[in-house]
Structure 1
């Protein structure tokens, strides 16, 4: 069964930096982002994501108006990231994000939420990448400035490097 996940900007940036975009699209998932995310991305290039199978949702005008209210409520979350939260909430789909405030709000609102570490776990579990490859990719993400939970990263790095 194909699962659908709504993904925000940082997921694409982190996995692009780690060289894992092709691997992500090998998962039995459909990845969806909003037109706002696609418009915001430079690297990775949106065209490459679309070629790999990214589905882009365009928010209705009324929904766009809600985004500014949500941005105020969520603090530091970007317009693009809040747009993904709104789609996930409206459609009852899981959200993929690394934005801490967005994760907390999603969990509070009953929206299933996962991040980059969970996606790396999925790549390993589906035998798309080896544990060693996942460890190297995670280290690359961290070296590039990805804001991931340090304790969870340390556990995975230790497990995957053995």
Structure 2
């Protein structure tokens, strides 16, 4: 299962709202998060995610100290999201984030960054879900307040619903 992608909190929440959490684990890559992300996911059963293959990285003392230093630079991103940024930076793994500020910072720092729409595209491209199911999922995310680029969302919904 080749590449490993580091996923922040927003991704898990968006895909839970879409009813597509399980499907993420059918993609041809592995997903990982930090222990801080799991602490933020109150209404998603951690055992279920881990059972599907989620890798959970635990931050050690020095990493946690660096994390608090980064928190000041990334004002407004959550501790969990900054922990994913740090993990992606340390491991060279791509970052999956729905946090606009974190995405911009990660791109400035030369990290590979992908988001919710890219993951939906992957689900369709790898025939894990039908285009119609991806459209339903995206609309459910938006109905739950997902902050995604409107034009990109509308274009996908039109394409997938045809």
Which structure 2 segments of 5+ residues have no match? none
Do residues 76 (structure 1) and 76 (structure 2) align? yes
Partner SS for 1:32: strand
Which structure 1 segments of 5+ residues have no match? none
Number of residue pairs aligned between Structure 1 and Structure 2 = 162
TM-score (norm 2): 0.97
Partner SS for 2:56: strand
CA RMSD in angstroms comes to 0.9
TM-score (norm 1): 0.97
5 Å-filtered alignment, 1:127-138, equals 127-138=127-138
5 Å-filtered alignment, 1:91-110, equals 91-110=91-110
5 Å-filtered alignment, 1:41-120, equals 41-120=41-120
Query: Any idea what the Cα deviations from partners look like across 1:108-131, whole Å, max 9, x if unmatched?
Result: 001000000000000000001011
What is the CA distance between 1:150 and its match in structure 2? 0.9
Q: Tell which deviates more after alignment, 39-48 or 8-17.
A: 39-48
Do residues 6 (structure 1) and 6 (structure 2) align? yes
Q: Name the CA distance, whole Å, in 2 between partners of 1:116 and 1:67.
A: 24
Query: Any idea what the Cα deviations from partners look like across 1:69-95, whole Å, max 9, x if unmatched?
Result: 211111210000000000000100100
